[in-house]
Amino acid sequence: MSLQSPKSQAKELIACGHPYYPPVSWVQQQQLVGVAPAVVKLIFDELGYQVRLDAVGNWKRCLSEVKTGHADIVVAAYKIASREPDFDFSQQYIVDDPIGIYVNANDSTIYHSLNELKSKTVGLLFGDSFGDSLDKFIEKNNQIEYVSKGKQNLEKLAHGRIDFMPLGIISGKLQTKKFGYSKKIIVAPFKLKTEYYYLALSPQSEISQHLPYINQRLKELHQSGKIEQLLNQYSNIYLESSGEAVIP
């Protein structure tokens, strides 16, 4: 039996994502774009659904909307312990995300480990996670300053108002280049673990029944090189776009 249904009868799903995390997802001209939105639309189109990509607000609100069933899909999220009871995650990841610690290039201290950052001030976006172990370290050892927009942390770090910020290395390189901070903000010379972005579905939505198909298709998209192609494509789109997302 075909998995697809006629487009005229296709049920609409609401999906949201991180508004400031290129090339995975970001908001551009009031639209959610990136690798994860593209993959979600592709897979759910095959399943006979229409997907409305919604720029619902900040990252924390997106997670809340899907958790409470007001939206159906988080296009990409870390599978951390605090989230697992609230979402149905894919088993296959969408993209891998090596994490870096970004610091001010003029800081005279060269940091060689996380322990050297104890008592320092860190900048985070509301709702952000960088994996269970790093989240716990920061909560225990650092002063946290939260912001609602990704560029705010970059500005604060460039001007020395925070000491560091964790960020995916790929996204960090794109954002520092985009906003002209490549020489002011650098990655500390030590490695952290690689985290992974998964598709996260609302348990209140009917679509969790499709997880076996979703996992298989994600695996195939990796094997075919489609995910890698999308990463390159959306990295270029981000750098060539003008301005920053304006989110209510």
pTM: 0.89
Q: pLDDT tens across 162-180, in order? A: 999 999 999 999 999 999 9
Q: pLDDT tens across 112-167, in order? A: 999 999 999 999 999 999 999 999 999 999 999 999 888 999 999 999 999 999 99
Considering only CA atoms, which of 76, 103, 20 is closest in space to residue 227?
A: 76
Considering only CA atoms, which of 201, 198, 197, 196 is closest in space to residue 87?
A: 201
Considering only CA atoms, which of 77, 51, 49 is closest in space to residue 62?
A: 77
